[in-house]
Structure 1
Amino acid sequence: MFEYRPNDGKMRDFYLKVYWYEKVSKEFESGVDEITKQENEIVAEDEERKEKIIRRHEVLNKANACEEMVVYINRIIWRFIKYRPDDFKLLDIRHNVMKNLILDDCDHLIKFILFGNDDDGKKANKLHIPRNIFWKKKKYVDDDTESEKITNIMELAIYHCKGKLICIILLENIDS
């Protein structure tokens, strides 16, 4: 019993003993913890899905942008060849443009360079002059061809484009 004495008199009060069972509280807390963990896992999975979707869209957008860029570059080269054929001949000799076109699988551009535009009906100018050797600027180094000594464009086309039409097109150009 608790007694309290104010100035004017005595006052009696009671006290209450409270027992808290830790076993019950731990079970309750563990249940709450499990629920919050499950909710957090669900939220994390949703965020991962959204991130994957966003990443996939970004990859697709980048791939489309790269394809568009390749198309624009092909168009620029096409127009340069069409409107400045003499400059292209010099560029081809000095910088081995045909080698890069073969390595990049630009079959349409190679066919246009070798045979001209079929729509015109005119005889095509010889824009590419077959050579036995590359211009001696830098050595052609590629991991696949280190053992093979590639000295000209025909060897490069045969080695790089096995079984493709481009080898036949280059052979036709050399024969004519």
Structure 2
Amino acid sequence: MRVPQLYRKPGWQRFFAGMMCGAVISWVIFLFTYGTFQEEQVTLIAEQQEHVKDLNNQISIYQEDLHKLNEDNKKMLLIQSVDVKLLNSEKYKISQPDKTKFEEHIKDDISEVITKDIESVYKTKELLKRTIENKIYTINEKKYEAEVKELIIYTRLTVEIEISFAS
């Protein structure tokens, strides 16, 4: 048995030529569509990478802000300054420089509370009151006792004091 010679029949030649042309055309169409889809995928991936980079930058900024806020909150929970107010200095006719000197003297007595946390100062507020009240203060050769009328404990320790002559 013999294989028929197809090269002599033009019908078969057109069939194989059509198959070859179809294969080439389909290959070109495949390459075009595949290339188009791949180009879209590459641009999508590039956009997503840029978006991820932006989000990572935002995360780092938020983390820095959070760290900064935590540091600020730690500062806020410490006594940072002491403020003393003398309420009845007019009654005893104490001059402004003497009043300021008296307030500074009390500030010096309780200055160890600066940079301590608010909770520990609150726990020792009675000791702080006694420290101020159990001392005799001398202004213009007159002796005075101090009585704490109000003690406000926050980031600034505020002490309001009334004085009276020492007995």
Report the TM-score when normalising by structure 2: 0.38
- Which has the higher relative contact order, 1 or 2, with Cα contacts under 8 A spaced 6 or more apart? 2
Larger radius of gyration: 2
Report the TM-score when normalising by structure 1: 0.36
